[in-house]
Amino acid sequence: MLIDIIFDHQDFVVLNKPCGIAVQDEEHRQGIIPIACAQLGLERLWLVHRLDKVTSGLLILAKSEKAAAEFGRQFEAHLIQKFYLALAPKRPKKKQGTVSGGMKKVRDGLWMLDESFNQRATTQFFSFSLMPNMRLFVVKPLSGKTHQIRVMMKSLGSPILGDSLYKGEASDRTYLHAYGLKFEYQQQNIELLCPPKEGGVFISVNTQSFISSLALPWTLNWPKVKHSA
């Protein structure tokens, strides 16, 4: 498997993680890290954030412990902006806004939002009509909780297409993709976009054209809110 390298820096690499591959090794399958190490000829890479196995898109891997610590500091300080694309057939309860709540683990790997302040997760989104019975969501998580975007979409009444764990309609993949990153590293402003390349609906001419017509995700009129812990 050849991984798309989106940005290669002396301290880190940003790649396009395919959907269906975990970030770390599973019992019977390699994760993305050893595959990337072999492709780049590196002995080790450090994971500084995660993507679910079903999610594709931009993933940062540090090339040293020092760089990993710096990314850890930036993520903790909310200095790295992440933007996702998601597709859902059902209209959400609201077309745009902020969703915030406590993340509560319920059963079988499932999470849900509640009114508590435990594991608080805050997510912002815009949604657009893509075609009949299909909406495109641009999503900005302000915290980094497990399944945060998937749970948020379910809470809106618009589970992600293909996300069977959260009652999404069956499809050829889970239609969630890490699309954009914006951050500063050693006084260099880094802005990266990676349109999805997997999934019949994502790669359709209509969807690709709509994505290309959107403004850069960090220039959208995101509401200002306090960061979730």
**Which domains are assigned to the chain?**
4-219 (3.30.2350.10)
**Nearby residues of 106 by Cβ (< 8 Å), 6 or more positions away:** 112
By three-state DSSP, how is residue 29 classified? coil
As a whole number of angstroms, the longest Cα–Cα distance in the chain is 49
Two structure tokens written together for 95: 């077309």
Question: Do 145 and 160 contact (CB within 8 A), yes or no?
Answer: no
The pLDDT value recorded for residue 228 is: 47
Catalytic residue among 4, 11, 25, 52: 52
Residue 108 annotated among the catalytic residues of the structure: no
pLDDT of residue 188: 96
Q: What is the dihedral of CA 201, 58, 224, 126, to 10 degrees?
A: 0
In whole angstroms, how far apart are CA 122 and each of 99, 189, 225?
A: 6, 25, 9
CA distance 57 to 219: 20
Per-residue pLDDT of the chain (229 residues; tens, 9 = 90+): 799 999 999 999 999 999 999 998 888 888 999 999 999 999 999 999 999 999 999 999 999 999 999 999 999 999 999 999 999 999 999 999 999 988 888 887 788 888 877 778 899 999 999 999 999 999 999 988 889 999 999 999 999 999 999 999 999 999 999 999 999 999 999 999 999 999 999 999 999 999 999 999 999 999 887 654 4
User: Strand pairing of 176-185 and 56-62?
Assistant: parallel
In the beta sheet, which residues pair with residue 32?
Answer: none
Q: What is the DSSP letter of 85?
A: E
Would you say the C-alpha torsion 70, 74, 76, 77 has a positive or negative sign? positive
Provide the 3-class DSSP secondary structure of residue 205. Answer: helix
Alpha-carbon distance 72 to 79, whole Å? 10
pTM over 0.75: yes
47 within 8 A of 60, measured Cβ to Cβ = no
Give Cα 176 distance to the centre of its chain: 7
